[in-house]
Each structure stands twice: as structure tokens, then as C-alpha cells.
Amino acid sequence: MFVRTSGGTTVAHRPGTLNVSVFDAWTDDGRDVRKSFEGFCRRLVAVLRSAGIDADLGWVPFSHCDGRFNLAVAGRKIGGTASLVRRRGTTIAMLAHASIWIEGDVTVDLQAVERFERDMGLGVAYDRRAHASICDVVTMPEARAVR
């Protein structure tokens, strides 16, 4: 088990999951760190849309590790994002990360997450229908981006 300091809850990593990380550092110029993180997330959405997948950012009720910067398609979570920000003097640094389900059985991942979180004493109630891999959503007509 590894604990990440970038926030969020339990995430399964396995073949079929794409992990994307970006590091950025800048001299404090008043830039809104949240906007920088949102820019990272919006770039991911743009890449998915360029591949014909109608992705967006937002909450997905009953999904695990739910957050306003989920990567979602047709109301289903296909990926999560997180960031870690540190300041040293006038330098701000941000590590932004995303885990995106490309293929594989998302249900198996959710079962593992639920087992682990229950063992940790957490109450969990995730809806498997709130989650999908990209391979799952490409067959859904409502998931195709308008070109």
C-alpha cells in the first residue's frame, strides 16, 4: 500500500489504467493555483475529445473518490485527478496527476477499493454504474464527441 499526499481516496492501479502526471513550478506571480490545476484537467478533456470521446469535468454521484475534477463521460467516471502543491520562498510547485481507466473490468477495481476501505473502517457505497472505462463508453452513442 502506498499513501499519496496529493489528496483523494483509494485508487486501483493496474494494466489498462493510464496514469498521467505533470510537474510545473513558477515564481509566485499571483497565479491562481486552482486555475493551473483546472488547466491540466481541461487539457486531458481536450485530448479525449480529439479522440472522439465527449468527456468533461464534474462530480459523478456515488463514484469512488468523487470530486469536481473527475473525468466523466455520459455521467460516468472514467478517471480521477489530484494535485499536490508546495511553496518554498517565492516558488510554487504543483504535481498534477490523473488515473484514467482505458480498458479492463472496472467492477473488479471497485471491489478491491471497497474491500480495502472497509478494512480501514470506512463506510463505502459506490455504484458500479457510475464508473466506466474508455472502452466501455466508446460504444455508447451519447459518449461520442461532436466533430
In a domain, 3, yes or no: no
The pTM score is: 0.87
| CATH number of residue 104's parent domain | 3.30.930.10
In a domain, 4, yes or no: no
pLDDT tens string 17-40: 999 999 999 999 888 899 999 999
Q: Which residues are catalytic?
A: 65
In a domain, 87, yes or no: yes
Q: Which residues of the chain carry a pLDDT beneath 70?
A: 1-9, 142-147
The boundaries of the domain holding residue 33 are 29-143
Distance (Å, rounded) from C-alpha 7 to C-alpha 28?
A: 23
- Phi, psi (deg, nearest 5) at residue 120: -85, 0
Distance (Å, rounded) from C-alpha 99 to C-alpha 86?
A: 21
Distance (Å, rounded) from C-alpha 91 to C-alpha 28?
A: 6
Domain count, the chain: 1
DSSP at 143: G
Q: What pLDDT, on a 0 to 100 scale, did the predictor assign at position 106?
A: 94
DSSP at 13: -
In a domain, 22, yes or no: no
